[in-house]
Amino acid sequence: MTPLTKTDAAAAETTTAVRLRAEHVRLAYGERTVVDGLDLDVVAGTITAVIGPNGCGKSTLLRALGRLLKPTAGQVLLDGKRIDKMPTREVAKILGLLPQAPTAPEGLTVADLVARGRHPHQAWYRQWSADDEEAVAQALEWTGIVDLAERPVDELSGGQRQRAWISMALAQGTDLLLLDEPTTFLDLAHQVDVLELVRRLHQEADRTVVMVLHDLNLAARYADRLIAMRDGRIVAAGEPAEVVTESMLAEVFGLAARVITDPVAGTPLVVPIGGHAQSS
């Protein structure tokens, strides 16, 4: 398995193509400023993972990148154009997003859920075109849920449901994907499942992915680029090996930890010290 060489090559080809850019962005909910003066580039053909402690503003940042939240200062550019000036439907053809803990209406089937991803390509008279069907069939295959197509979404397990939602985002047919904590509520095996899927999307379908992740080790393993945030600022950004260091863990998470090399992937592996500090 040589994922790193593959992504390095991809990155070298496309370093200049910035798909999403945040410029001096300030993000606030009402009076409360969550992110201030933040700059960020998302380069084509990469997987970017945003990490940081709870409440550091990483989900807020993702919402702003996906035009769900309008910055109170600064701007977000999608392919060089201000995202808030573009028709939201046009944005939806370029950029797909999966919110944190999305909710499906009761009684919906998986096929209907995934087909909803085609919304930006549809109109009241064009609700199920051949293109729609093709994209949905492909998205179901990608996520391995063809057999579940006629089942109600409420009957699925957590892992299956998450794959159904990712499938919906895929059916949208965008080459940019924003995923907000796609692995929450999943056990480790299903977390790996979902992230393997993300990697395949990137490698085989050339999707550019930005995701918020909680698990540092999985983030380091699956992302080309890590962004570590604390208190609404970016503290460190770069390749996993540059970002995941003992000093970063102390500064960003307030965590005493050792960083060793993942024996499987060769990426950094975080080993918390915690109560074992005395004995080590």
Which residue in the set 5, 54, 106, 280 belongs to the binding site for other proteins (CB under 8 A)?
106
| Residues between 166 and 205 with contacts to other proteins, criterion CB under 8 A | 169, 172
- Return the number of other C-beta atoms located less than 10 Å from residue 45's C-beta: 21
Q: Contact between 84 and other proteins (CB under 8 A)?
A: no
Residue number with CB closer to other proteins (8 or 90): 90
- Kindly state the tokens that stand for 215: 């698990």
Distances (CA, A) of 99 to 103, 140, 232: 9, 19, 19
Q: Contact between 97 and other proteins (CB under 8 A)?
A: yes
The CB-of-88 to other proteins minimum distance in angstroms stands at 5
Q: Contact between 277 and other proteins (CB under 8 A)?
A: no
The CB-of-96 to other proteins minimum distance in angstroms stands at 7
Residue number with CB closer to other proteins (23 or 84): 84
Residue number with CB closer to other proteins (37 or 158): 158
Q: Contact between 134 and other proteins (CB under 8 A)?
A: yes
Of the ranges 10-18, 60-68, 156-164, 187-195, which one interacts with other proteins (CB under 8 A)? 60-68
Q: Label the pairing between strands 47-51 and 95-98.
A: unpaired
Q: Contact between 64 and other proteins (CB under 8 A)?
A: no
Residue number with CB closer to other proteins (7 or 172): 172
Contacts with other proteins by CB under 8 A lie at 29-30, 63, 66-68, 87-93, 96-99, 102-109, 111-112, 114-117, 119-120, 122-130, 132-134, 136-137, 140, 146, 149-150, 169, 172
